[in-house]
């Protein structure tokens, strides 16, 4: 408070009495009682000392003391705690009063919301090559420049909300208002976001409002001594698969808590929006457990829908977009709930985007089950384009889900047999590594160009990180060996990882120039099963993919819609040049295409389009042709 006093307020409807204890009163549990208010609320005002300084100093430890109706005395961390720390010798987190004399003040304005969203999904703790938990400072000065260089304009920060169990990947939240102290201080996180803003990069928070940790001494569970409070009592308040508690979204104080939480992360830290985790679990009473969604509308509208949760989702999006119009919200929903990304004014959920979660599953299924010659071009295209009109999707070939131990990244599915032995340019290029590098680039470009209105990549996957992700736990002897990202591999000019890094960078830079993510959906002119060719136009670019393992084609006719402007031997033609070639030497390709080649359209109708052109398209190559007439 301005006068140096301290004001505390809690919601503990099941408590008989509430007190504040800590270093400031010698841990006397009953010397500072709260006053009971209506509706289960409690308040405490601690006046300043004679010299107007606060009684509770910055950095001191405190606890809320709850006296339950059964007479039990419980020590709890406030649900509103801004900073909690775990000392090495302790299992339980401590609530530390965070009130620095000179808090960090942002120096840069929020970037404007981009038309094309290219997201770098990142985890601070694994961002170093060292076997330890990396810091906010490390991420700011070592990883942010790489993200900028790669052409991403948005970061999705994982595992920021405090979670007691590191191996939960940040999905078992214990303190919703506290930035994880294992990476550093709140001010260091604010600096990270501010520096990202200086680079024109937005920062989204991976927010978990779908459930909460069962921890009680350093979590929300049984805060007031009852089994309800923030959560449903009984079976409805437990998620059986996640072993966590489920919020009671029908309770006004729970809504106030969660909505305030969203506003806090924006106003206090400068986040530019949210990726909401576990939306499918929120939407349905069955939480999606054992439910294979087919798209039948009966699956989305009925008694199985949790209307309280749906209303909270609508409220959250309405509040965020009303108060902060530039903010972005993304839904992680596997069910395909209709209208989830329509405005709340139309009765929709209000999200800006949904994750295209079927896309990575399709790529993994193809790599696991099919030979290259059996890939179905039509089925791939259908999966990439199967989305509702005017509901925007974030496309991705893989995310953190595919990087976790127990699954495999695309690079691992493609090359794990030889990634530790044959990735040096000083050793002969083997068929396994060659296939892996070429398909890795093609899969990502096809997903980027065709799969949605935004794109996402998980930290390190852009260069084919050679190891899975496994956090320290009992099962691996608490090892950090696989909880790290080895960026130095992409920096090493001797290793082939640099080719994948370079392609990812140039793919994003090309999108930045032409904006295909913000353009209308692509027109697909070719999905040839025998030739394994996919061709389409989007944003005045012509994309051609040859997935055939060994067939190259000369004089291959590809349809184009763009009419020509220049007369060429009394025929009006359109002029194309190569904008991106996955076969380039810069990307570990075989340099089979002359980049000085000019392609001219013919007024020859083909595949239901009025014009066409002839190209040379080698096997396992993706080409992007730029219509020079337009630029």
Residue 565 belongs to domain with CATH number: 2.60.40.1180
How far apart (Å, rounded) are the C-alpha atoms in residues 461 and 504?
10
CB 122 within 8 A of CB 128: no
Evaluate whether 312 touches 253 at the Cβ level (below 8 Å). Answer: no
Whether 598 is in a domain gets the answer: yes
Q: What is the mean pLDDT of residues 190-197?
A: 98
φ/ψ bin of 163: left (φ > 0), alpha (ψ from -120 to 50), beta (otherwise)? beta
Of 277, 85, 263, 105, nearest to 183 by C-alpha is: 85
**pLDDT per residue as tens digits for the range 600-617:** 888 889 999 999 999 999
Which residue spans within 12-109 are E strands per DSSP?
15-22, 35-36, 41-46, 61-68, 73-76, 84-85, 94-96
Question: H-type helices in 326-395, by residue range?
Answer: 358-369, 377-385
Q: How confident is the model at residue 356 (pLDDT cuts 50, 70, 90)?
A: very high
Nearest to 274 by CA among 241, 229, 319, 231: 319
Q: What is the tally of structural domains in the chain?
A: 2
Average pLDDT value for residue range 445-460: 97
CA distance 83 to 92: 14
| Residues identified as active-site | 277, 332
Position 190 scores a pLDDT of 98
Per-residue pLDDT tens digits for 30-83:
999 999 999 999 999 999 888 888 899 999 999 999 999 999 999 999 999 999
- Sorting pLDDT into bands at 50, 70 and 90, what band is 563? low
Single residue among 76, 106, 133 that ends a domain in this structure: 76
Beta strands in 434-518 (DSSP E): 454-458
Q: Please enumerate in sequence order all residues whose Cβ is within 8 A of that of 383, keeping only pairs 6 or more positions apart, or say none.
A: 358, 359, 362
With respect to residue 321, please indicate whether it lies within any of the assigned structural domains. no
pLDDT bracket for residue 569 (50, 70, 90): low
The pLDDT, as a whole number, for residue 631 is 42
At 164, list the tokens: 């007691």
Residue 585, in any domain of the structure? yes
Give the residue from 26, 50, 76 where a domain finishes.
Answer: 76
How far apart are the C-alpha atoms of 413 and 418, rounded to whole Å?
A: 11
- Residue 353, domain member (yes or no): no
Q: Where are the beta strands (DSSP E) in 308-350?
A: 328-331
Q: How confident is the model at residue 184 (pLDDT cuts 50, 70, 90)?
A: very high
Q: How far apart are CA 308 and CA 327, in angstroms?
A: 24
| Range(s) of the domain holding residue 554 | 523-630
Sign of CA dihedral 484, 487, 490, 493: negative
- Tell me, letter by letter, the H, E, C secondary structure of 566-583: EEECCEEECEEEEEEECC
Read off φ and ψ for residue 32, nearest 5 degrees. -125, 85
33, 54, 76: which is the final residue of a domain? 76
Burial of 410 (C-beta count, 10 Å sphere; 0-12/13-18/19+): buried
pLDDT for position 239: 96
What pLDDT is attached to residue 52? 83
The reply to whether 197 falls in a domain is no
Has residue 66 been placed in a domain?
Answer: yes
Do the domain assignments include residue 559?
yes
CA–CA gap between residue 105 and residue 446 (Å, rounded): 42
Does a structural domain hold residue 52? yes
CATH no. for residue 19?
A: 2.60.40.10
Other C-beta atoms closer than 10 Å to the C-beta of 348 total 18
pTM over 0.75: yes
């Amino acid at each position: 408070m301005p006068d140096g006093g301290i004001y505390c307020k809690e919601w503990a409807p099941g408590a008989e009495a509430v007190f504040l204890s800590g270093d400031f009163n010698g841990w006397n549990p009953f010397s500072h009682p709260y006053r009971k208010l209506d509706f289960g609320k409690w308040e405490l005002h601690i006046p300043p000392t004679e010299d107007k300084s606060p009684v509770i100093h910055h950095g001191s430890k405190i606890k809320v003391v709850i006296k339950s109706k059964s007479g039990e005395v419980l020590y709890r961390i406030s649900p509103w705690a801004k900073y909690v720390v775990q000392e090495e010798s302790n299992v339980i987190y401590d609530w530390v009063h965070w009130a620095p004399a000179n808090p960090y003040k942002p120096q840069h304005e929020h970037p404007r919301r981009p038309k094309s969203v290219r997201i770098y999904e990142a985890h601070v703790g694994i961002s170093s090559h060292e076997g330890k938990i990396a810091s906010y400072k490390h991420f700011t000065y070592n990883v942010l420049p790489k993200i900028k260089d790669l052409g991403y304009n948005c970061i999705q920060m994982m595992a920021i909300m405090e979670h007691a169990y590191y191996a939960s990947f940040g999905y078992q939240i214990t303190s919703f208002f506290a930035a994880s102290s294992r990476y550093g201080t709140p001010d260091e996180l604010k600096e990270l976001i501010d520096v990202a803003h200086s680079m024109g990069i937005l920062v989204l928070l991976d927010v978990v409002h779908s459930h909460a940790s069962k921890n009680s001494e350093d979590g929300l569970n049984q805060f007031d001594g009852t089994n309800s409070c923030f959560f449903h009592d009984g079976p409805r308040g437990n998620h059986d698969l996640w072993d966590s508690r489920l919020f009671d979204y029908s309770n006004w104080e729970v809504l106030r808590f969660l909505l305030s939480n969203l506003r806090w992360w924006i106003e206090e830290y400068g986040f530019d929006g949210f990726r909401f985790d576990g939306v499918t679990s929120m939407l349905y009473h069955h939480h999606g457990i054992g439910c294979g969604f087919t798209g039948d509308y009966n699956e989305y509208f009925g008694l199985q829908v949790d209307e309280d949760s749906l209303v909270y989702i609508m409220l959250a999006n309405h509040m965020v977009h009303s108060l902060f119009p530039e903010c972005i919200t993304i839904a992680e929903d596997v069910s395909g709930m209709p209208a989830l990304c329509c405005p709340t004014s139309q009765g929709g959920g209000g999200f800006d985007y949904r994750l295209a979660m079927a896309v990575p599953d399709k790529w993994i299924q193809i790599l696991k089950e099919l030979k290259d010659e059996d890939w179905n071009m039509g089925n791939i295209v259908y999966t990439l384009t199967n989305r509702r009109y005017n509901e925007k999707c974030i496309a991705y070939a893989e995310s953190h889900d595919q990087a976790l131990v127990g699954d495999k990244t695309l690079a691992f599915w493609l090359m794990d047999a030889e990634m530790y032995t044959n990735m040096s340019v000083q050793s002969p290029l083997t068929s396994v590594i060659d296939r892996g590098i070429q398909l890795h680039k093609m899969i990502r470009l096809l997903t980027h160009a065709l799969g949605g209105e935004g794109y996402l990549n998980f930290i390190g996957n852009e260069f084919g990180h050679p190891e899975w992700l496994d956090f320290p736990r009992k099962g691996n002897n608490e090892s950090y060996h696989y909880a790290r990202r080895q960026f130095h591999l992409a920096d090493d000019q001797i290793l082939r990882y640099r080719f994948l890094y370079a392609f990812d960078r140039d793919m994003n830079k090309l999108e930045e120039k032409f904006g295909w993510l913000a353009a209308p959906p692509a027109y697909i002119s070719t999905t040839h099963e025998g030739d394994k060719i996919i061709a389409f136009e989007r944003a005045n670019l012509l994309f051609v993919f040859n997935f055939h393992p060994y067939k190259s084609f000369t004089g291959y006719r590809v349809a184009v819609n763009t009419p020509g402007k220049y007369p060429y031997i009394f025929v009006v033609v359109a002029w194309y040049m190569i904008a991106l070639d996955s076969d380039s030497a810069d990307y570990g390709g075989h340099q089979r295409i002359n980049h000085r080649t000019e392609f001219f359209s013919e007024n020859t109708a083909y595949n239901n389009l009025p014009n066409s052109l002839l190209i040379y398209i080698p096997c396992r190559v993706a080409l992007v042709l730029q219509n020079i007439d337009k630029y």
